[in-house]
Structure 1
């Protein structure tokens, strides 16, 4: 797929985006969920080798290339790895899956009810390297913990400022101002978040488009104006800690919003499963998430 083909696939594809981007801090938890204990690896190299084996097994599964997964978000080390004897971005594109790369460097401490992203001086270098490998876009996460108009404005300002840096390299930024699903004031805060995003979208230069990755809203279809905005390529949903069943049920109520799940996709996969068991379990999750994304 060339860049235009990838753009069309993301904009119009009837499927969802898999999140395979657990970073160093979340990798041990992901491995434990997969059935690999902390005692099974020693040091970062062995840890990342173990998580890469899991991701490669997913990528190579027959059901992963059946057209229902239209994109995949990668951790940097996964982008640099090999699957099926080829660089991971190349292998994904062969299977009809558009590659993205996680680019943020983690979160700052909470202030004004939000956690902004840490400074990222090497962002352009990483984006340029990713583009040379065939990556289409990026993803970067910050978190809203409570209703605070100042904090929400800061988080949206930062997402769009970093997005402008990414756009300058030729990649498409997926902006992710996640709203913590446990926040008691989330319904009110999501209205503020939507309106701040709309204001920034209206100010984007002509010809530029971004993607949005958002928590599934409390009020169904709250983000319809974002989905319809001409400067938004696609709006995707994070599972945010919901189980697969919960996330799919809530997502299906939001027309035009598709999934970009991690836990919701991987929660029932285990290292000790046979290939047939693994492929069957993954295929069932893919079918369920796909159905909710195209509902």
Structure 2
């Protein structure tokens, strides 16, 4: 259970920690792709249970690596099965916090089909029960993702509305929500999408009751510094950025151009890790990626 003192300690770490948040939350649909990137080909498993066991092995190797600690990694976003699992003989959220890494949980159930240029989140039946379970396991906050593909004012407004409605339920359960309305960086109207989203987020943040605070996970904007007002907003605990299809080197360059924004990378963090590596090779590769992303986050 996350008591008030621990919650406040975690909040302070996320609010002012000099580091970044690792995204280890690939779910069912993206797991085969993540395993392939890790050097495990399709056909290495016979069913979903075996597939999830393989991805849990990868995540366990990451979170138990000596370099994966709160010195540079201030938080980690987990998939539900990872939250429920163990690493190093301990429940994963407890292991993370013991290492100074604040645990978050991905709570969305994936995306609806595109309409009005965006993909809203699918319904989340049983969210309340999941949030109660997460809190009991020591989870600090949550993450949920929507996608913006084109500069539709009505579509982007609908995404922000849905995100903040669900965020309200998460806050009611004593957890801090990460709101992630991802702008597709390949969109022909990327800059316009960024601008509309920025305006909608400001309106939604201004409307939050006093004392209610959220986090934002955003695509790196086409125009550097666009999100400065969001970074400074009193209702925002922290603004983090996804790599969104950029290589790690590209994402780090873009990130460093946006003061106050820190990384929350997934693929750009894990891309070079391979199942076949020795522990020394694995730790060296992960440590190098952590150093590079940390440097861009504190630039």
Q: TM-score, normalised by structure 2?
A: 0.98
For residues 35-83 of structure 1, what are the alpha-carbon distances to aligned partners after superposition, in whole Å with 9 as ceiling and x for unaligned?
A: 0111111101000000000000000000001510000000000000001
Give me the whole-angstrom Cα distance separating, in 2, the residues matched to 1:44 and 1:92.
25
Q: Does 1:116 align with 2:120?
A: yes
Q: Does 1:49 align with 2:61?
A: no
Q: Does 1:10 align with 2:14?
A: yes
Find 1:216's aligned residue among 212, 220, 224: 220
Find 1:98's aligned residue among 84, 97, 102: 102
Query: Structure 1 residues 66, 133: closer, same or farther in 2, change over 3 A?
Result: closer
Give me the whole-angstrom Cα distance separating, in 2, the residues matched to 1:188 and 1:20.
30
Q: Does 1:63 align with 2:67?
A: yes
Structure 1 residue 89 displacement after superposition = 0.3
Q: Does 1:84 align with 2:88?
A: yes
Q: Does 1:189 align with 2:193?
A: yes
Structure 1 residue 150 displacement after superposition = 0.3
Give me the whole-angstrom Cα distance separating, in 1, the residues matched to 2:145 and 2:247.
20
Residue 271 of structure 2 is matched in structure 1 by: 267
Residue 130 of structure 2 is matched in structure 1 by: 126
Residue 138 of structure 1 is matched in structure 2 by: 142
Contact 2:112 2:120 in 1 (8 A): yes
Residue 23 of structure 2 is matched in structure 1 by: 19
Greater shift after overlay, 256-265 or 121-130?
A: 121-130
Residue 173 of structure 1 is matched in structure 2 by: 177
Q: Does 1:253 align with 2:253?
A: no
Give me the whole-angstrom Cα distance separating, in 2, the residues matched to 1:216 and 1:204.
24
Residue 31 of structure 1 is matched in structure 2 by: 35
Give me the whole-angstrom Cα distance separating, in 1, the residues matched to 2:125 and 2:207.
24
Q: TM-score, normalised by structure 1?
A: 0.99
Residue 162 of structure 2 is matched in structure 1 by: 158
Give the number of aligned pairs.
295
Q: Does 1:240 align with 2:244?
A: yes
Q: Which runs of 5+ in 1 are unaligned?
A: none
Give me the whole-angstrom Cα distance separating, in 1, the residues matched to 2:203 and 2:39.
45
Q: Does 1:285 align with 2:289?
A: yes
Q: Which runs of 5+ in 2 are unaligned?
A: none
The residue matched to 1:276 in structure 2 has which SS?
A: helix
Contact 2:70 2:101 in 1 (8 A): no
Give me the whole-angstrom Cα distance separating, in 1, the residues matched to 2:205 and 2:69.
33
Give me the whole-angstrom Cα distance separating, in 1, the residues matched to 2:234 and 2:43.
50
